[in-house]
Amino acid sequence: MTSTLAEKIIGAHVGRSVKPGEIVVTGVDVTALQDGTGPLALQQLEDLGLVRAHNPEKTILFIDHAAPSPRKELSNAHMSLREFAAKTGAVLSEINEGVCHQRLVESYASPGDILIGADSHTCTSGALAAFSTGMGSTDVGIGIATGKTWLKVPETLRVVITGKLNRGVYAKDLILSLIGDIGADGATYMALEFAGPGAEAMTMSERFTLCNMAVEAGAKTGLFASDEKTRGWLLEQGREECFQELKADEDAEYTRTVEIDAGTLEPTISAPHTVDNTKTIGEAAGTRVDQVFIGTCTNGRIEDLRIAADILRGRQRNPDTRLIVTPASRSVYIQAASEGLLEVFAEAGALVTGPGCGACVGVHGGILGDGEVCLATQNRNFQGRMGNAEAFIYLGSPATAAATAIAGEIADPREYLR
């Protein structure tokens, strides 16, 4: 029997081949939660008398959504995570470490793993050929305590990428365009498997961006085969021994295959209030913008900051447009500092914050005012997402964001490249 990547990873865990639709109870390799979902998970475990971590070194409690805490209620929630870590030996990722998904790909997720996290963008780690999926507090709590979860083996939608992105067009534009095509529920309950020459050519940073947004099409996870680029990433992170090569069988069966010629894409925007409400830059250009936000688990990596800094270097943001830059993790922050990128942003008129989720979650650090418009590099533009249901959020690439900050209105990054 042949297997897709998702079927292969789940099959290896249950010791037999599996097919879509089957329900399995499986061991999990990594469990994660964050400060928004964590307290509820830990409370469930307390109620059950299961205050323990089955695999403490691979149980990570992230304080990233409201870090540092803006309110005493959240400070108390953070304390509950610290206490659980102290009691069980689980890893606590403190306020300075950054967004959970970036930290997971840097230090914890490996090819072949099953990873469950109480955050919907847990699918990011699928770029390392891990079956990595978001669940709720109770599911992840049970996973932490017992090392197990139940899964329905998903059908797989294969996304074959051909061609090469043109100058000024990025992985973010590709994934927004795909979601616009298949819809916000176009892959509900499925795994997205990215393949083809265009996928093989992508950097790890680009792969993380694609997999991060798989859930925005309703998918359970996004997956890439692991290859020399995956090995290179793990080597850079000091854990090359975690590498194994994994790919789908040649004649695996897919529920659906979608082809994208990357060479035909243009800079793409998601307009309010859904991610699948996509427009080409030509259709969206000229929309006045009050705030630009560059960062998050989608586009807060060093490659993203370099792209934005190249556009912003020696230029100024529009006086009526605020610019916030939030590196995804501590190591991204340090690297950006050493390359002088943080200075470029500050000189261009940006507020550079410490690493974390930043303004994306709507808790702190850039809540929008009534009627205000934001262009952000994050993954979601739902009504109320950035803390105000009366505000409007557009999504785009870091290059589009940088160009927009300069222009004060949504702008085509190709006009600002040097």
DSSP string, 174-203: HHHHHHHHH-TTTTTTPEEEEESHHHHT--
Q: Which amino acid, one-letter code, is at 202?
A: M
Beta carbon of residue 75, minimum distance to other proteins (angstroms, whole number) = 10
Nearer to other proteins, 302 or 361 (CB): 361
Q: Are 7 and 252 in contact (CB under 8 A)?
A: yes
Give the number of C-alpha atoms closer than 13 A to the C-alpha of residue 29, restricted to the C-beta side. Answer: 20
Nearer to other proteins, 187 or 407 (CB): 187
Beta carbon of residue 312, minimum distance to other proteins (angstroms, whole number) = 28
Angle between helices 137-146 and 38-48 (to 10 degrees): 60
Beta carbon of residue 412, minimum distance to other proteins (angstroms, whole number) = 28
Phi, psi of 289 (to 5 degrees): -130, 130
Nearer to other proteins, 232 or 272 (CB): 272
Nearer to other proteins, 137 or 331 (CB): 137
Beta carbon of residue 347, minimum distance to other proteins (angstroms, whole number) = 31
Nearer to other proteins, 202 or 395 (CB): 395
Going by C-alpha positions, the residue among 221, 238, 142, 159 that lies closest to residue 194 is 159
Beta carbon of residue 187, minimum distance to other proteins (angstroms, whole number) = 10
Q: Which residues contact 46 (CB under 8 A, 6 or more apart)?
A: none
Question: Could you list the residues that contact other proteins (CB under 8 A)?
Answer: 23, 25, 36-37, 39-40, 44, 47-48, 50, 65-66, 71, 73-74, 76-77, 80, 117-120, 122, 134-139, 142, 146, 148, 150, 152, 184-185, 188-189, 215, 218, 220, 273-274, 361-363, 367, 380, 382-389
Q: Which residues make beta-bridge pairs with 295?
A: 326
Nearer to other proteins, 134 or 398 (CB): 134
Beta carbon of residue 227, minimum distance to other proteins (angstroms, whole number) = 28
Three state DSSP letters for 248-302: CCCCCCCCEEEEEEHHHCCCEEECCCCCCCEEEHHHHCCCECCEEEEEHHHHCCH
